[in-house]
């Protein structure tokens, strides 16, 4: 298949590479061209603008920071009968905006955000939360297989986005709880590193503790997913809950702590920099 990948940041670039390695023809576009140029060594054509990237494409893949960035890309797409795989986390309002635009342009929208960060994206081990028309999902299955280890088919367009919001609610709560617990351990002179090691291997722990815990203890952040985007995802969860008449108790605290760490200059650092929302 011919694939156009629009947005080649931390997630989009490795997804483009894995799709190309699976034997598909890939053209890529990124607003900052320098971020896409390295893809040329993988046989991927780097386009100067979205219009050139999508010429003749069977599937248009968008992976940008938020709904506004996705829509800004998609508004430059020509009308046609291609499939638009929207893979970013854009929230309920965002996917509805995408659906409206897709209908206007004659595109078939596949709402399939992905779970995972930089390393799983590089390894082709993302989780794909796919929703949309069955025929379009069937057509995209080879692409899902190229970028992910697991694909959930969840029903009509919008179901993937809602599932991703729930997934992120759990993940962000886990990260903040870990950050605060490490801060608590340090404050009362408990060996935080030893605690993380025990927790990572405990039935009450989680594998993610072994990934983010050491980074929090060492205050070393190789960005696999920026904290600023974690805050964006927390806001999307809160917006979705409010829309459905549910008052979340944990997520406002998570967002407040993330924003505190961002205000201290850690927005571009990895999600593990949430620790700076709990320590002075």
- Active-site positions read 164
CA distance 261 to 102: 37
CB 78 within 8 A of CB 71: no
CA distance 121 to 227: 17
Contacts of 268 (CB under 8 A, 6+ apart): 223, 226, 227, 228
């Amino acid at each position: 298949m011919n694939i156009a990948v629009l947005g080649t940041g931390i997630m989009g670039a490795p997804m483009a590479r894995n799709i190309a390695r699976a034997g598909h023809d890939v053209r890529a576009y990124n607003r900052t061209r320098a971020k896409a140029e390295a893809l040329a060594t993988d046989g991927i054509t780097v386009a100067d603008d979205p219009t050139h990237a999508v010429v003749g494409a069977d599937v248009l893949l968008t992976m940008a920071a938020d709904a506004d960035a996705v829509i800004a890309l998609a508004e430059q797409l020509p009308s046609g009968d291609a499939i638009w795989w929207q893979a970013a986390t854009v929230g309920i309002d965002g996917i509805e905006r995408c659906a409206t635009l897709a209908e206007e342009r004659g595109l078939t929208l596949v709402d399939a955000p992905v779970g995972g960060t930089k390393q799983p994206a590089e390894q082709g081990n993302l989780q794909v939360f796919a929703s949309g028309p069955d025929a379009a999902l069937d057509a995209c299955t080879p692409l899902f297989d190229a970028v992910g280890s697991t694909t959930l088919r969840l029903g009509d367009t919008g179901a993937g986005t809602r599932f991703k919001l729930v997934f992120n609610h759990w993940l962000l709560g886990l990260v903040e709880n870990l950050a605060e617990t490490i801060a608590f351990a340090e404050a009362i002179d408990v060996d935080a590193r030893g605690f993380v090691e025990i927790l990572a291997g405990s039935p009450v722990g989680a594998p993610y503790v072994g990934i983010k815990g050491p980074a929090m203890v060492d205050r070393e952040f190789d960005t696999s997913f920026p904290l600023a985007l974690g805050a964006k995802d927390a806001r999307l969860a809160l917006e979705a809950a409010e829309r459905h008449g549910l008052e979340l108790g944990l997520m406002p605290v998570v967002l407040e702590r993330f924003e505190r760490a961002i205000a201290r200059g850690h927005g571009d650092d990895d999600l593990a920099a949430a620790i700076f929302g709990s320590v002075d």
